[in-house]
Structure 1
């Protein structure tokens, strides 16, 4: 009720009288008079004094007008913000991802479509990225593997083969592709527990009954890359995420199907969010465009 009374006071104060305010806001004069009177009576103050046919503000009224002017200006700003958010002219989208390759592709496409949306990205392992999504700390998750979960909606995005990379002076570097048996006894640098690339690679090794010699476990793609460059061993990577280097060679595995996947994941409860729906639509269009 007080909001309506303050609105009525503000209309009369800015219009200079009840008749003018009635015409401006399309509320009857008796209603405006009753609203302002109720405000004055509740707080025991005088907000207007009558001078002829005009109403002038008292000192209390002038101070209140300064406050209501700020109040309703903020309200107008809030409404304008919500209108822009509805039209996706402004807003913020938080995305968690297990790697930069696919998510940057998605972000570039989304930014072209909705340049007013602020984008925030946090990279981490699968466990942490999924936890952030479930805790509402992020809006979108880009994951390599996702288990069946009724809370989640998953959109498949990409599939890429996993290859082995070695130093250019390694004996395997001379081959166009290798058989998985070639990895028997090789010094292997592996990703951390929880890495979906590691899981896919180890499953293929187990299936082929190959036992490489694990020399190091590192939780960073960049650190693994440096370790291989320095001759500490060989490693594996999704071919899409391999960064060419004069001292390294990526070699496909010819007789084993090892793949990594990219899935875009959201909470089922948030499927109706306009900004999330817009992101998924951009993802689908980007996927189709790249498939051509």
Structure 2
């Protein structure tokens, strides 16, 4: 026995229109096809779905119950269609974006929403490792991260170039410095990020190349946690230079061993193509045109 969507639609259309002809016009199929769907369903299940009264096909009580189910199925179809199409429309579409740093990704999203205010944007934040994995598993549509590998898996667009800097409390003696070395930092209480962080990879590499392996005072899992630890005078932290738009008491200091510029890129799976993705990548170019300082080498 086959209870197909086509048969359910036919029954519902006949119940609504009162005839095979009306149902055929609604479904844009032949009258014979509608009649066949109904009669085959009645024969296979041994039921009667319609009574003919004064030339009109009236649903039986069983058919009315079936039509209630059909309406719920039709709404589920409409919901499924909306889910499938909203990623490829600029009208009430939906985009999920993964950020490793709040900035400059949030500024880019703000520009995108200004251009496309009807788009629903969901933002997920996390480590470099977490966001890269989320793009690969399609948990997010687009990622914004520094130091993304160049390979065939990704469609990429350069957003900014930036390096990692030390951040210190204004009461720290380091706050009067414009540049420090890794060697100088080893005498300070250090605040590190957990493994998987792009920031921490740069920090670990710089200390290792300078010949040091310092033990941190604290190891924290988010950039915001590191920032707040520094605000509270717990030690010296590290962040991407444009990692936040906050301009409060924390001082950014160049680390001479960490001056290499890394590219912050917008990336998606190479085989993902849609109007929404194209619009977001177009916004990247528009954003860069108005934020040239972020692209200075």
User: TM-score, normalization: structure 2?
Assistant: 0.76
Secondary structure of the residue aligned to 1:265 is: strand
Residues 1:237 and 1:273: Cα distance change in structure 2 (over 3 Å): same
Q: Which segments of structure 1 move beyond 6 Å, counting only runs of 4 or more?
A: none
Q: Distance in 2 between matches of 1:57 and 1:69?
A: 15
How much is the aligned-residue C-alpha RMSD, in angstroms?
3.6
**Cα distance change of structure 1 residues 146 and 273 upon mapping to structure 2, 3 Å threshold:** same
- 1:168-192 superposed Cα distances (whole Å, 9 cap, x missing partner): 34444345x3364883764252523
Residue 241 of structure 1: SS of its match in structure 2?
Answer: coil
Report if the CA contact (8 A) 1:189-1:224 is conserved.
Answer: no
CA gap of 1:239–1:17, structure 2 versus 1, over 3 A, is: closer
**Do 1:163 and 1:253's aligned partners in 2 also have CA atoms closer than 8 Å?**
yes
Structure showing greater radius of gyration is 1
User: Are the equivalent residues in 1 in contact too, given 2:127–2:198 (CA < 8 A)?
Assistant: no
Return the alpha-carbon distance in structure 2 between the equivalents of residues 244 and 114 of structure 1: 29
Q: 2:263 matched to 1:244?
A: no
Deviation at 1:240, TM superposition (A): 2.0
CA contact (8 A) 1:227 1:233 kept: yes
SS at match of 2:57: strand
Shift of 1:114: 3.4
C-alpha deviation, 1:158, in angstroms: 0.5
> Which blocks of at least 5 consecutive residues in structure 1 are unaligned?
none
CA-CA distance at 1:145 after TM superposition: 1.2
Does 151-160 or 228-237 show the bigger shift?
Answer: 228-237
Indicate conservation of the 8 Å contact 1:196/1:260, yes or no. Answer: no
Distance 2:72 2:225 in 1: 54
Q: Of residues 172, 175, 178 in structure 2, which corresponds to 1:173?
A: 175
Match of 1:113 in 2: 115
Contact 2:144–2:264 (CA<8 Å) still a contact in 1? Answer: yes
Q: Which residue of 2 aligns with 1:94?
A: 96
SS of the aligned residue for 1:115 comes to coil
Work out whether 1:134 is the aligned partner of 2:120: no
User: Corresponding residue for 1:18?
Assistant: 20
Q: Name the stretch that deviates more: 142-151 or 252-261.
A: 252-261
Partner of 2:269: 267
Q: Does the Cα contact within 8 Å between 2:100 and 2:131 map onto a contact in 1? A: yes
C-alpha distance in 2 between matches for 1:173 and 1:26: 75
The whole-number CA distance in structure 1 between the counterparts of 2:27 and 2:182 is 82
Superposition deviation, residue 46 in structure 1: 1.9
Alignment-derived partner of residue 279 in structure 1: 280
CA offset digits 1:43-97 (Å, max 9, x no partner): 2222222334333333333333333343334434544665555423334433222
Provide the rounded CA distance (Å) in 2 between the counterparts of 1:56 and 1:140. Answer: 52
**TM-score of the aligned structures, taking structure 1 as reference length:** 0.77
Q: Distance in 2 between matches of 1:226 and 1:80?
A: 41
Counterpart Cα distance in 2 of 1:71 and 1:156: 45
Residue 183 of structure 1 pairs with residue 184 of structure 2: yes
Once residues 155 and 22 of structure 1 are traced to their aligned partners in structure 2, the CA distance between those partners, rounded to angstroms, is: 50
Query: 1:199-247 CA deviation, whole Å, 9 max, x = no partner?
Result: 445655666x58697653533444444554555544444332364334x
Report the counterpart of residue 291 of structure 2 in structure 1: 290
Contact 1:89 1:117 in 2 (8 A): yes
Unaligned runs of 5+ in 2: none
C-alpha distance in structure 1 between counterparts of 2:74 and 2:230, whole Å: 63
